[in-house]
A = this chain, B = another copy of it.
Amino acid sequence: MSDKVLLDYGSGGRASHRLIKDLFLKYLGGPALNRLDDAAFIEDMHGPLAMSTDTFTIYPLFFPGGDIGSLAVHGTVNDVAMLGAEPRYLSCAFLLEEGLDMQDLENIVRSMSEAARNCGVQVVTGDTKVVPRGAADKMFINTTGIGRIIADPAPSGSRAEPGDAVLISGTMGDHGLAVLAHRQGLSFETDILSDSRALNGLTCNLIRQVGNVHVFRDPTRGGLATTLNEIASQSGMEILVHEERIPVHREVQAGCSFLGLDPLYLANEGKFISILPETLAEKALELMRSHPAGRDAALIGHVREGHRGRVILKTSLGGHRLLDMLEGEQLPRIC
């Protein structure tokens, strides 16, 4: 194979088949994918399912703490997990620009393979398109995932109830700031790494061992502030959160001050919000803190009746301010 991606690799012909065999099957192969039929055969899915899709356009392809390949696995696995499901199967569609470095592609596919293995999902079907130079920027990846819902009823943004506790699984803003700092060539005292990781291990534990989770949601694009607004709007509730209880890495805080950004609006790729009855909050926190994906978990606020769809931040100085949804684009191509 050439050391650059050629248009031929997307033709559906012999060159495409070589790419599929020598690269995709090598790293992602398994009983379903190896069949090379038009669709994957999935034998063992019964009961209610969760399905989610995401196209990843992150720039640059490699960033501190991850790359577009592992991110594309984690992102969709997490979205499926947020519905109270065990993610099981992924489709994976590559959109490649002619001339992309083959070594970069191989590193990314290998990274996807490791990420998929680590979170227990199989890539069962795929697609590759190559577009001429200039028609895309290097590489985009779509992953779509399905999983079996194990929570009954399934968590939903609409199920937040008065009195519920609002928990987050860790620090806010790491992914957004890591990518931005890397793009701009900024360096801080210590490296800020993306928090890109799979959350399904911990969310499934919470469902099985704590139960009755009303809402799971991962605060990706738009950050914690936007996601809380979505939940408030879906459920028709008001949410109050305490600024000083929201964990933010010192370096992220410093970087945000320097760049004029707010960590509550920065994307996260390995954190989730969990909303459940106050009586279960302690047990949930304990379980979260005992898991690598939830070490810095915190109870940050409560749901209450009040102004429908409003999120209020109680500041460190004791004041209150409206925490609004992100209006426009703070940072393009963050995921």
Contact = CB atoms under 8 A, between A and B. Distances in A.
A41 B127 contact: no
Contact of A83 (B17, B39, B145): B39
A257 interface: no
Contact of A135 (B79, B130, B158, B333): B333
A221 B40 contact: no
A96 to B, nearest CB: 10
A21 B149 CA distance: 26
A95 B40 contact: no
Interface residues of A, number: 86
Q: Could you say which of A39, A132, A216 has the most chain B C-beta atoms within 10 Å of its C-beta?
A: A39
A137 B142 contact: no
A316 B7 CA distance: 33
Interface stretch (A50-58, A113-121, A236-244, A286-294): A50-58
20 contacts: A10-B332, A12-B222, A13-B330, A14-B327, A35-B156, A38-B52, A38-B78, A38-B216, A39-B80, A51-B146, A53-B127, A55-B93, A55-B95, A57-B131, A57-B135, A59-B135, A93-B142, A131-B333, A134-B134, A146-B146
Given A8-B329, A36-B230, A37-B157, 14 more contacts: A6-B328, A6-B329, A36-B157, A39-B80, A41-B83, A41-B149, A45-B45, A55-B127, A57-B136, A91-B144, A132-B332, A135-B136, A136-B136, A146-B146
